[in-house]
Amino acid sequence: MSCLEALFPERLDEPSDFVPCEFRVKWAAGRWEHDSAMALRRAVFCAEQGIFAGDDRDAVDGEAQLIVAQSFVGGAPDAVVGTVRIHEAEPGLWWGSRLAVHAAFRHHGRIGATLIRLAVTSAHARGCRTFLAQVQSQNVAMFERLHWQALKSQLLHGREHHLMQADLAHYPPCFDPYGGFVTRSTGPRA
């Protein structure tokens, strides 16, 4: 059991006073990263938001690359606190989906923005010419601040989403996605 699991046993609704000093966002490589990312997705999309019943996995998971945000405690990875997946639907066309950040960390260290950054830059390094995502309405403003454009509104899984496209000019290729990016904790917003 990680320190974070001890602090947050399946609780997404209670913030904590404990804040790791840094987070590493990288392509998932180990089994624990994969399993933790899938558990976080279930917690966010099934338990918290009620979008899916029981599990959110689909056919895309078989071909997608998971990206994780790990909290670090004492210089070592402790827990997966955020995730997103990317996949190439056809040559040059990439999609990002299932962006999830643990509720206790949604206002720490720009975790969501850094997940999005690695998703797009690592796809860009692999020949991406167009990067798209279906974004829930409450997240559109954040994506727009990150140089994405809303293309159209759609109803998916009973919720309003917006088809959005990343401006690749703002996402230079990242050729080391397993090294990824580090973001430091900014602490909770008041």
Q: Report DSSP letters for 24-71, one per residue.
A: EEEE--SHHHHHHHHHHHIIIIIIIS-SSSS----GGGGTPEEEEEEE
Residues 6+ apart with CB under 8 A from 186: 107, 108, 109, 110
> Average pLDDT for residues 52-57, to the nearest whole number?
93
Does residue 7 fall inside a structural domain?
Answer: no
Its pTM surpasses 0.75: yes
Sign of torsion over alpha carbons 118, 126, 65, 45: positive
Vertex 121 angle, CA 118 and 124, to 5°: 145
Q: Where are the beta strands (DSSP E) in the chain?
A: 22-27, 65-73, 76-90, 93-101, 130-136, 148-156, 159-166, 181-184
As a whole number of angstroms, the distance between CA 41 and CA 169 comes to 30
Vertex 50 angle, CA 63 and 89, to 5°: 20
Does residue 56 fall inside a structural domain?
Answer: yes
- The count of domains in the chain is 1
> Average pLDDT for residues 20-32, to the nearest whole number?
90
Print the domain residue range for 154.
Answer: 21-180
Mean pLDDT of the chain: 89
- Using pLDDT thresholds of 50, 70 and 90, give the confidence band for residue 75: confident
Does residue 4 fall inside a structural domain?
Answer: no
Does residue 162 fall inside a structural domain?
Answer: yes
- Using pLDDT thresholds of 50, 70 and 90, give the confidence band for residue 4: very low
* Predicted local distance difference test score (pLDDT) of residue 3: 43
How many other C-beta atoms lie within 10 A of the C-beta of residue 96? 24
- Using pLDDT thresholds of 50, 70 and 90, give the confidence band for residue 187: low
Does residue 99 fall inside a structural domain?
Answer: yes
CATH label of the domain that carries residue 95: 3.40.630.30
> Average pLDDT for residues 15-21, to the nearest whole number?
59
- Using pLDDT thresholds of 50, 70 and 90, give the confidence band for residue 190: very low
